Structures are given as structure tokens and as C-alpha cells.
Amino acid sequence: DTGVSQNPRHKITKRGQNVTFRCDPISEHNRLYWYRQTLGQGPEFLTYFQNEAQLEKSRLLSDRFSAERPKGSFSTLEIQRTEQGDSAMYLCASSPGGVNTEAFFGQGTRLTVV
């Protein structure tokens, strides 16, 4: 499978716990995005990497959220001290360089904080 891969697909965690999600982009794509989506809403931009550099972060990304892409390949998104409001689908997407190229999405990680 050469698409964007995300793990785990589902995560249930207790409030206050830390969680980490992984995204493996399409191998030749240098751009990687994280989005959050809640029911009935479109995906909301969280952060963006070009290779290993994190170039943009949304104000939605509080201090409890951190993302890395250490070697410019896979990326991780960590949420510390989870809150019930963090429950959402976390989507990763990748794209090659260029202005008019689309983003390809993984199947997402559904987080439920209880």
C-alpha cells in the first residue's frame, strides 16, 4: 500500500493521559499536514511540515500538542494531559511540492477521551 498510513486507527484514553499518533506519508512527498476533524465540521488545520521543518502551526495547537518529523519521513503527533475536548478524528495528509498539487489523506486516528 503506497498511500498515507496512520496508526493507530482508534485510541481510547482516560482524561489526563498522554497519547501519540503516527503518520507515514507517501514516500516521495516532502509536505506533511496534520488536521483535526470533529463531527459535522470540515478538517481544521493543525500544523505543517516541509521535510523535517515545522513551518506553520495553528493557534488550535495548544502547548499540550507537539508534532515532530525527525527525518523528514514519518511524523508523530503527541497530545499531553488529554481532555475530553480533544476527542476527534486526527487526519494526516501529504503532498508533493508545487502550488497546485492536492493533499492525500490517511484514514485518520479516532481519539476518544473518557
Partner 1 sequence: RKEVEQDPGPFNVPEGATVAFNCTYSNSASQSFFWYRQDCRKEPKLLMSVYSSGNEDGRFTAQLNRASQYISLLIRDSKLSDSATYLCVVNMNNYGQNFVFGPGTRLSVLP
Residues near partner 1 (CB under 8 A): 31, 33, 35, 40-45, 48, 50, 55-56, 91, 93, 98-108
Smallest distance, Å, CB 36 to partner 1? 11
Q: Is the peptide bond before 8 cis (omega within 30 degrees of 0)?
A: yes
Cβ proximity of 57 and 65 under 8 Å: no
Residue 55 C-beta: closest distance to partner 1, Å: 7
The count of other CB atoms within 10 Å of the CB of residue 43 is 19
Q: Closer to partner 1 by CB, 91 or 113: give it.
A: 91
